[in-house]
Amino acid sequence: MLEPGDVVTADFPGVTGIKRRPCIIVSTQTYHQTRPDVILGLVTTQVAGATAPSDYLLLDWNAAGLHKPSAYRTFLFTLPAGSVSVIGHLTDRDWKGVQTALKSALATS
């Protein structure tokens, strides 16, 4: 079962076509129990540009199954749960950083 904080690869619908890239699952177990899709946030290796409050520089990127220094960006999209492949999971400190970035981007109150 997919978990919040899982690092996955997914076919990302970008401007120049579809590209398989790493993403982070940000949807909850409650969401997964009632929906066939997952909510994903983008992971980028362009860490120098990840400076917005809604971005987070991953500290433990290697432990999460990533091959290069990476950052989370709150660029959200959904895909069917069966179309993603798990490659790792964020450490607790990186998951907390991603949650903080999400909160800075989304109206939660």
Rounded distance, CA 18 to CA 22, Å? 13
- Does a structural domain hold residue 107? no
Please check the confidence at residue 56 and state whether its pLDDT lies above 90. Answer: yes
pLDDT computed for residue 4 by the predictor: 97
Selection from 57, 60, 47 nearest residue 101 by Cα: 57
pLDDT computed for residue 12 by the predictor: 81
Please check the confidence at residue 37 and state whether its pLDDT lies above 80. Answer: yes
Backbone angles phi, psi at 75, to 5 degrees: -115, 100
Domain count, the chain: 1
pLDDT computed for residue 57 by the predictor: 98
User: What does the pLDDT look like over 61-90, one tens digit per residue?
Assistant: 999 999 999 999 999 999 999 999 999 999
The range of the structural domain enclosing residue 19 comes to 6-102
- Does a structural domain hold residue 33? yes
